[in-house]
Structure 1
């Protein structure tokens, strides 16, 4: 104790040593030196604080930024209102919202912070019934630093998880794409993935544009789109078909006003749909179109300038080439004018017409009207036409009546528009166009004279031919049927048809083209067992035309006939599926005679060769 208070003098310590020790001992420093020491201590403290601040900042950045491309920033008790939707709306031509984004929250976990995994699994599986308990457990035990539990919680789920107060679980504010019209127009709109990136349809094609926040206005009229889908759904059900398509195009602008494909799906639930429902039959499916191709074969021949609607071709007997035989479904067994070939849908006559143009001429015309390349529409889902690499004579003959070449229904709609609108091919578009926006964008593919002749033939076929079931009294409808046998492993399947009808109206000044196609329909008692385009597709086309006329207030050609229609009078057309009737033997001229009168009297037909026995054709159109 005493040793701790007093220092004992070392006897061996000399006076010089004491002097050195005394000089090294602390002294009373002047004021300036004390200030410098204080500053040094403050500098050290500030440096330590700066290091701590940087460490905390780095940790916050580490948590808030994406470490592996999947981890979002932490947002405790995040509220949907904290997110402003960045992806723009998609609108129809009248401003109706077809797709929009809503703010939502998603639940994620930091597994190392979860105190009791089993407790968390049990509680979360009760408030999130669509998330399996084993999936939650697997994620929490995965060893990862971050895992999603559920994306896009509903407000009720968000509140329920909040009440649990589980440590290690937090929310991230996001946005979710919704489609207010439900299952209307899914093959047009497409859908987005969980991260709001476009995966199909318009959403995919214009993904970058929509991300910039500018609304996208389509040419689609949702009212017409809804009716179109309902009508072909009724037809598919009535005729037990496996699918159907329909389209409406404005022939003066190229705008697609409605485009449907069945089966369809709800883009709000795209995760659970089948590949069959995702498939867009209108733009991606390529099929042999059958007799609707006679539209283009006829226009090609007339536009050559060498023939008129009164020019005659021998259709009295089948055509035999190699091991194939071409026959007619509605055989007339005589020479036919071009007008009659179109009216009776003669395969034989069509093939002989094509022979006058030749292989190279036919191929060039098909290329000119867009049949040899994908249809130029604003969708990623477009099909490549199938046609022979070596275009030979047999190919030329069958392509004349729609076999041996496969295209999409939209190919037919777009090319048909050019045939009857004055001869101008407009690129089809799903975007709304203004008058100035499409001016000068079309390409002439046939002459105005040829287009006028095609309009006459369209009307002729509805009044006297196979298209009578599409006629709407007072609205001057024209059109062409098509019934193509589908190819199988061992040749064409006679009872597996793609039955179509393509119509235009009003024929005096065409504005709209409408096409309906039914895949593998079955004949019914009402149709007399027929499953052809005139029996199953023409009536739906008629219903769509009636709706368009009412929707857009199109004035009828004959007000009295239109009044009867609006009053619900029975249709004046013959029973569905009935064979074409002969021209009436009355004093008044038939429409065939009127059509032929515009180009002079028919030429004299050559003497028909001896009849050949009928044989199975290479895919029978002519229905």
Structure 2
């Protein structure tokens, strides 16, 4: 019986007993008063308990709200913030701080299939914003049993706005990061690119991941905090020039491909390197067929007569040949069913400088024969031309050489046939012939001269270096490298015209041309190497290296020397000034 019912019952009893004896009436009144007091006390106690309970609940809620408000986001959710789903990559900048690669914010479109009301209608609505949408594929995703499906990664702000206006239930956006390359194709093979998940898969982007960034991302230890930029040795100004020259050369000389590199001979730093065809890292899929191949470091070629630089250096460094020696180049060499002859033979005895100047195959082969097969192989190995090059760039191919060196191999290798190596490796080996005899592994990161000295290996004598500088200068002034000359900058170098191997045989109609140079040749600071693959023409109508690869070197030096800090010199002693009329 409730409290009110008991009170009403007592009142009724009191009413009917009003005429009875007074003692009974008084007793009933005492019972009623006692019951009322007892019930009132219980009610107050219950209200107090309820108030205390509500107070405790609200105190707990308030405390938790304060705790959550003061805690960092990582500690209050098992699902990281959206930015953590796509962690930041460090910016990549050139040696002067110019941006080569950076992250930009974007969004991706996703769906929760279990919330989709009408998949057909959703597909039709999305197609109005994205006409190229794979309708069948999207429909399958929207009708799948999964609870999450990506529909489109990395939308533009306009696409996001239009899809948002459609108001499709079960469709949403997730913030992500997208890699952006302001220079586009300019340094694509050096910088590389990332995949849709912002992971580096080529070039220095891949190198950065290999240094631990990818491992940290795999275990969720990266964040969207801005990272320190990765500075490269590349000079974006020089890189733009080099890329423009090789792209123009490929088109002008109707070639299959072309490339070039500018390298600091004293530090091993790569200031610029380009290979065309190339691609835009902002849209790498468009260049997948031909553009991804970095022919400078990941392509091996028979470098032709540029190898005569190494054969001559080997002969002089061995002490078995002096620069004043002469060799009989009147008759071709016949060995193993092959005939070795000169392209423009002089048919007379030639001195060592003349052999270099006239690019005599016969004279060069005889110098290699004096050194011997074992010495020849050892010297090329010492220069790093027969082993895989060590550098940060992942795309590096291992050179090829004969399994067993015989005399015929040594002879053909002496003038650049029989060994295939990368153009970048050739430039690195040439730098050792120009910088005092020190072989320095190339780097795409900044390196001081002191740091370079710590890792340098002496591979040739300083006296040999002086003689090679003289021969490079002689060939540029009076030999096949004249079209590479730039007034005031004393360019020296060696051409290389090699017949390409087509279908297992040397072609008489396709060449692989290169020009290996250094400047200023009296005290070289930079090595510049260009190549052009299968050119159909050249300056003056020919297609040899002196008519296409050499002019490309001249154009690179003419446009970039001042940016590299090389001052022109005129006159016999270099003190004359350029007079303008």
If the length of structure 2 is used for normalisation, what is the TM-score?
0.83
Q: Of 314, 318, 335, which aligns to 2:349?
A: 335
Map 1:121-140 → 2, pairs under 5 A:
121-140=123-142
2:155 aligns to what?
153
| 1:410 aligns to 2:419 (yes or no) | no
2:121 aligned partner: 119
- Aligned to 1:514, the other structure's residue is in SS state strand
Q: Name the residue aligned to 1:533.
A: 545
Distance in structure 1 (CA, Å) of the matches to 2:578 and 2:339: 44
1:492 to 1:95, Cα distance in 2 relative to 1, 3 A: same
Which residue number corresponds to residue 144 of structure 1? 146
Query: Cα distance, 1:209 vs. partner?
Result: 4.7
How many Å apart are 1:412 and its aligned residue?
Answer: 0.7
Q: Secondary structure at the match of 1:261?
A: strand
Given the superposition, is the C-alpha separation of residues 84 and 270 from structure 1 closer, same or farther in structure 2, using an over 3 Å criterion? closer
Question: Equivalents in 2 of 1:279, 1:565: separation in Å?
Answer: 43
List per-residue Cα deviations over 1:507-564 (Å, max 9, x = no partner): 111001111100000125x523x11110111111101111122323522221699999
* Distance in 2 (alpha carbons) for counterparts of 1:193 and 1:339: 52
C-alpha displacement of 1:255: 0.4
1:442-477 CA distance string (max 9 Å, x none): 111101100000000000001111111111122111
- Aligned partner of 1:181 in structure 2 is 183
Seen in structure 2, the aligned counterparts of structure 1 residues 194 and 448 have a Cα distance that, compared at 3 Å, is: same
Aligned pairs, number:
523
Structure 1 residue 276 and structure 2 residue 290: aligned? Answer: yes
* Aligned-partner SS, 2:480: coil
Q: Distance in 1 between matches of 2:425 and 2:86?
A: 41
Output the CA distance in 2 between the equivalents of 1:104 and 1:500. 44
Match of residue 527 from structure 2: 513
Residues 273-422 of structure 1: matches in 2 within 5 Å?
Answer: 273-422=287-436
Distance in 2, matches of 1:488 and 1:344, equals 27
- Structure 1 pair 567/114, CA: closer, same or farther in 2 (3 Å)? farther
**Deviation larger for 429-438 or 337-346:** 429-438
8 Å Cα contact 2:109/2:171 also seen in 1? yes
Structure 2 residue aligned with 1:499: 513
Question: Whole-Å Cα distance in 2 between the matches of residues 65 and 387 of structure 1?
Answer: 57
Alignment gaps of 5+ in structure 2: 1-37, 65-73, 214-221
Q: Provide structure 1 residue ranges, at least 5 long, that are not aligned to the other structure.
A: 1-27, 54-60, 67-71, 569-623
Counterpart residue number, 1:604:
none
| Distance of aligned partners of 1:188 and 1:244 in 2 relative to their CA distance in 1, 3 Å threshold | same
Q: With CA pairs under 8 Å and 6+ residues apart, which has the higher RCO, 1 or 2? A: 1
Show the counterpart of 1:215.
Answer: 229
Q: Quote the offset at 1:565 in angstroms.
A: 8.3
Q: CA deviation at 1:356?
A: 0.8
CA contact (8 A) 2:241 2:560 kept: no
* Match of residue 245, structure 2, among 200, 207, 231: 231
**Post-superposition shift, 1:84?**
9.0
How far the C-alpha of 1:208 sits from its partner, in A, is 5.1
- Superimposed CA distance per residue, residues 19-64 of structure 1 (whole angstroms, 9 cap, x where no aligned partner): xxxxxxxxx99979x98xx99xx89xx9xx99xx9xxxxxxx9xx8
User: Contact 1:83 / 1:175 at 8 angstroms: preserved in 2?
Assistant: no
Is it true that 1:245 corresponds to 2:259 in the alignment? yes
Query: Is the alpha carbon distance of 1:559 and 1:216 closer, same or farther for their aligned partners in structure 2, counting shifts above 3 Å?
Result: farther
User: Which structure's residues are more often helix, by fraction?
Assistant: 2
Match of 1:13 in 2: none
The corresponding residue for 1:558 is 570
Higher Cα radius of gyration:
2
Q: Contact between 1:473 and 1:562, CA under 8 Å: does it hold in 2?
A: no
In 2, distance between residues paired with 1:549 and 1:498?
26
The 1-side partners of 2:134 and 2:496 are apart by 51
CA RMSD, Structure 1 to Structure 2 (Å): 3.5
Tell whether the 8 Å contact from 1:85 to 1:101 is kept in structure 2 after alignment.
no
SS at match of 1:171: strand
Change (3 A) 1:562 1:200: farther
Could you tell me which residue of structure 2 aligns to residue 592 of structure 1?
Answer: none
Q: How far 1:440 sits from its partner (Å)? A: 2.2
Is residue 250–residue 258 contact of structure 2 (8 Å, CA) maintained in 1?
yes
Q: What's the CA shift for 1:313?
A: 1.2
Alignment partner for residue 164 of structure 1, among 156, 163, 166? 166
SS at match of 1:500: strand
Between 361-370 and 203-212, report the one with greater CA deviation.
Answer: 203-212
Report the alpha carbon displacement of residue 83 of structure 1 after superposing the two structures with TM: 8.8
CA-to-aligned-CA distance 1:215-256 (integer Å, 9 cap, x gap): 110010111111111111111111110100100001011000
**TM-aligned CA deviation for residue 272 of structure 1:** 2.5
Distance 1:565 1:534, change over 3 A: farther
Q: Give yes or no for contact 2:321–2:367 (8 Å, CA) kept in 1.
A: no
Q: Which residue of 2 aligns with 1:204?
A: 206
CA distance in 2, matches of 1:187, 1:360: 37
**TM-score of the two chains, using structure 1 as the length reference:** 0.77
Write out per-residue CA displacement over residues 394-426 of structure 1, whole angstroms, 9 at most, x where no aligned residue: 111110000000000001100000011111111
